[in-house]
Chains A and B, each alone.
Chain A
Amino acid sequence: MGLQQLLFSAILLLGIGFFAFNVKRLIRSIRQGKPVDVIDRKKERTFAMIRLAFGQQKMQRNVLVGVLHLVVYLGFLIINVELIEIIIDGVFGTHRALSFLGAGYDLAIALFELFAFAVIVSVVVFWIRRNLMHIKRFRSAELKGWPKLDANLILIIELVLMFLFLGMNAADYALQLRGVAHYSPAGSFPISSWITPIFNSWSDGHVIAIERGLWWAHIAGILGFLNYLYYSKHLHILLAFPNTFYASLDPKGKFENNATVTREVKAMLAMEAADPNQEIERFGAKDSTDLTWVQLMNAYSCTECGRCTAACPANQTGKLLSPRKIMMDTRDRATEISSSKGVKDVAEHTLLDHYISREELWACTSCNACVEACPIGIDPLSIIMKMRQYIVMEESAAPGDLNAMMTNIENNGAPWAFNAQDRLNWVSD
């Protein structure tokens, strides 16, 4: 085995190994969440995943963006088939090991090139939309700093990877045309053949160096990008699938009934004997660890696209609430807890208050526009409601007007101060 092959195998193992390590960290972060019963209705869940994640149904609501996103998605999916060959070539020192497939191989390479070109066009449009056009959801306060850089880095990495792929093919094709040893003719190059003439005046040695250099940069770039995922908002390319699978299948208006409260209320109404050994857990959510693992997975799946925030009536009318920020804060807090020790329950440093303010939570109208808008089934509303539960049931700290409303319900069975005896007054009014 040559030095190149050894080096390749080492880099490949390192790249995949570190990715596996980060996947484990991610799973540990998500598992901080509480258990939740989501193993029912597997058929419907699978169908939802096919529709939303594979089919990107909701992305197609804006046709231009939907099609471009589909191109990038299919492009990466299809071009990564090429990885199989790159790995074989890298480990065994072969050149285009799969070229024995003949016409099918030529067609595949041609298709990869066409997709690479389409991905470049899409990514450029995305970059322009994000940076040059005044699209409100790309200019929200929560995107300042790292989130904006992260988004642009992802676009730039994708662009560079596509250029590396096409450049590698162009140099390869030049060498094939010259009949250089080891570079036997294989593949069809509808896009990169336009680049090949650049190498006309170059010596064989230089073109081989370029071909090798780009080939290495391409595979190293892919492994690098794979490992960048964990540190970026880009995890949706993996998590969109489980996220859509485990998303709620119920009508959006159905909010979960808190089971702990049900036990308490039944005991209070003497419908059930209270279990003295029952440990009462915290009502609602003060910190990310009070949420379910599905809610935490939601947070890690978020791509910060901001469709939720753009649809939010509170956000549109200048309130502090942004459903996207709820998800980003939840993710950042969950990562903080899982990656460090000792900060878990330090007073004042919890998801509530340190990350998400009460003003944000009380601005929500529970209208479900954010849930409807999310292309991959994230539910920011369920987190907002869980946090309101903590504020009201653990701290009795609801806004004064709401306390008055709740007192009315307790006393008169109506949110206003009217007497139940007057419920039929409308008949004779």
Chain B
Amino acid sequence: MSELKIKTMAEFLAEGQAPEVLFWVGCAGSFDDRAKKVTKAFAKLLHNAQVSFAVLGKEESCTGDPAKRSGNEFLFQMQAMANIEVLNAYEIKTIVTTCPHCFNTLKNEYPSLGGHYEVLHHTQFLKQLIENGRLSVSGGTFKGKRITYHDPCYLGRANEIYEAPRALIAKLDAELVEMKRCKRDALCCGAGGAQMFKEPEKGNKDINIERSAEALETKADIVAAACPFCNTMMNDGITQHNGSSAVKDVAQLIAEAKDL
């Protein structure tokens, strides 16, 4: 684990170099224990594919997504403009992120505030690396396993990225089993729109209980996620159902298949 070497943009700049991509780690990816594992897995894959990448480290700040979805447009735009100032100062061209909320905000909501970048979700980027022959994956440990994939709202419906994560799962030689609602009809995990940070309104059940029951219906060994919030919500739901399926990000599955 200790061999993981991560360089910041500041270090690249000090060496007079520019990385191929900026890895936007996100708040969950930096601080949440489950998400940190995804961050690490993805960083290892980038190393493995010999991608020159940088992170912002302490210069990274929340994109403002949860503030915007809460209705605090002020705080969102303050965050956005501050981030854009940093990103533009480093002349960032391409950003890759493991969080669909960061992805959506950077890609769709920053341009009109002056931030123009090519923004990729990590599943898109990994798919590109495989297609370009920079990363190779073979099934290995996942051969014959049942995997279901939960579409994050901000990757799926919000940006119509349904195929990239599925293409990665297909590389694992596993059996991809779809939930009864998937792709554009997928049910939210319950965390979007800043719900991650508050108690749900009163109802007859929590949304993640409903969704994780659907995931368990597939009898999948693994529930693949592509969003740190979905990851937490699905894991909590499955735990409450006493289910045995493991919840893992697509990047973790690829990294495990490669024994990284």
Assess the B70–A406 pair: CB atoms within 8 A.
Answer: yes
Complex CA–CA separation, A284 to B70 (angstroms): 12
Assess the B201–A359 pair: CB atoms within 8 A.
Answer: yes
Complex CA–CA separation, A385 to B202 (angstroms): 20
Assess the B202–A365 pair: CB atoms within 8 A.
Answer: no
Residue of A nearest to B65 (CB): A415
B57 CB → nearest A CB, Å: 5
Which B residues are in CB contact (< 8 Å) with A391? 71
Assess the B192–A367 pair: CB atoms within 8 A.
Answer: yes
- Cβ-based interface call for B141 (8 A): no
Assess the A253–B108 pair: CB atoms within 8 A.
Answer: yes
CB neighbors of A among B128-184 (8 A): 153-154, 157-160, 184
Complex CA–CA separation, A363 to B199 (angstroms): 10
Residue of B nearest to A426 (CB): B36
Assess the B71–A367 pair: CB atoms within 8 A.
Answer: no
Q: Mark B199-227, 1 if CB is under 8 A from A, else 0.
A: 11111111101110000000000000000
Contacts A251-B160, A261-B74, A429-B36; is A405 near B197 (CB within 8 Å)?
Answer: yes
Assess the B192–A365 pair: CB atoms within 8 A.
Answer: yes
Residue of A nearest to B43 (CB): A427
Contacts A318-B203, A427-B4; is A366 near B193 (CB within 8 Å)?
Answer: yes
Assess the A409–B2 pair: CB atoms within 8 A.
Answer: no
Residue of B nearest to A409 (CB): B62
Assess the B188–A367 pair: CB atoms within 8 A.
Answer: yes
Assess the A258–B73 pair: CB atoms within 8 A.
Answer: yes
- Cβ-based interface call for B27 (8 A): yes
- Cβ-based interface call for A200 (8 A): no
Assess the A369–B36 pair: CB atoms within 8 A.
Answer: no
Complex CA–CA separation, A387 to B193 (angstroms): 13
Assess the A423–B25 pair: CB atoms within 8 A.
Answer: yes
- Cβ-based interface call for A262 (8 A): yes
Instruction: Kindly name the residue among A254, A268, A385, A418 whose own CB sees the greatest number of chain B CB atoms within 10 A.
Output: A254
Contact partner, B157, options A257, A372, A405, Cβ 8 Å: A372
Assess the A414–B27 pair: CB atoms within 8 A.
Answer: yes
Complex CA–CA separation, A369 to B157 (angstroms): 8
Contacts A317-B206, A405-B197, A424-B6; is A372 near B39 (CB within 8 Å)?
Answer: no
Assess the A398–B158 pair: CB atoms within 8 A.
Answer: no
Assess the B71–A392 pair: CB atoms within 8 A.
Answer: yes
Contact partner, A426, options B29, B70, B154, B203, Cβ 8 Å: B29
Assess the B158–A414 pair: CB atoms within 8 A.
Answer: no
Complex CA–CA separation, A271 to B211 (angstroms): 45
B253 CB → nearest A CB, Å: 19
Q: How many residue pairs, one in A and one in B, have C-beta atoms under 8 Å apart?
A: 221
B229 CB → nearest A CB, Å: 10
Complex CA–CA separation, A321 to B30 (angstroms): 33
Residue of A nearest to B157 (CB): A368
- Cβ-based interface call for A202 (8 A): no
Contact partner, A405, options B113, B190, B194, B203, Cβ 8 Å: B194
Assess the B71–A420 pair: CB atoms within 8 A.
Answer: no
Assess the B77–A261 pair: CB atoms within 8 A.
Answer: yes
- Cβ-based interface call for B127 (8 A): no
Instruction: Kindly name the residue among B66, B73, B192, B199 whose own CB sees the greatest number of chain A CB atoms within 10 A.
Output: B73
A384 CB → nearest B CB, Å: 9
Which B residues are in CB contact (< 8 Å) with A257? 73, 77, 109, 112-113
- Cβ-based interface call for A120 (8 A): no
Assess the A252–B157 pair: CB atoms within 8 A.
Answer: yes
Assess the A362–B58 pair: CB atoms within 8 A.
Answer: no
- Cβ-based interface call for B123 (8 A): no
B217 CB → nearest A CB, Å: 16
Contact partner, A367, options B25, B112, B153, B206, Cβ 8 Å: B153
Contacts A257-B77, A393-B73, A426-B36; is A313 near B108 (CB within 8 Å)?
Answer: no
CB neighbors of B among A408-429 (8 A): 409-410, 413-416, 418, 420-429
CB neighbors of A among B1-35 (8 A): 2, 4, 6, 8, 25, 27, 29-32
- Cβ-based interface call for B124 (8 A): no
A187 CB → nearest B CB, Å: 46
Which A residues are in CB contact (< 8 Å) with B66? 405-406, 409, 415
- Cβ-based interface call for A311 (8 A): yes
B237 CB → nearest A CB, Å: 12
Which B residues are in CB contact (< 8 Å) with A421? 58
Which A residues are in CB contact (< 8 Å) with B8? 424
Instruction: Kindly name the residue among A262, A268, A366, A418 whose own CB sees the greatest number of chain B CB atoms within 10 A.
Output: A366
Complex CA–CA separation, A155 to B212 (angstroms): 40
Residue of B nearest to A401 (CB): B198
Which B residues are in CB contact (< 8 Å) with A266? 81
Contact partner, A317, options B69, B70, B154, B207, Cβ 8 Å: B207
Residue of B nearest to A260 (CB): B73
Complex CA–CA separation, A311 to B153 (angstroms): 13
Which A residues are in CB contact (< 8 Å) with B193? 364-367
Q: Mark A358-390, 1 if CB is under 8 A from B, else 0.
A: 010011111111011000000000000101111
**A-B pairs with the 7 shortest C-beta distances?**
A253-B158, A388-B71, A366-B193, A318-B204, A413-B61, A318-B203, A254-B108
* Chain A residues proximal to chain B, CB less than 8 Å: 250-255, 257-258, 261-262, 264-266, 268-269, 271, 283-284, 311, 313-314, 316-321, 359, 362-369, 371-372, 385, 387-393, 398-399, 401-402, 404-406, 409-410, 413-416, 418, 420-429
* Chain B residues proximal to chain A, CB less than 8 Å: 2, 4, 6, 8, 25, 27, 29-32, 36, 39-40, 43, 55-58, 60-62, 64, 66-75, 77-79, 81, 104, 107-109, 112-113, 153-154, 157-160, 184-185, 187-188, 190-207, 209-211
30 A–B pairs (Cβ distance < 8 Å), ordered by A: A250-B108, A251-B108, A253-B159, A258-B77, A261-B73, A266-B81, A268-B78, A269-B78, A313-B187, A317-B210, A365-B188, A365-B192, A367-B153, A369-B185, A392-B70, A392-B71, A402-B70, A402-B198, A405-B194, A405-B197, A409-B64, A409-B66, A409-B79, A420-B60, A423-B57, A424-B30, A426-B30, A427-B6, A428-B2, A429-B40
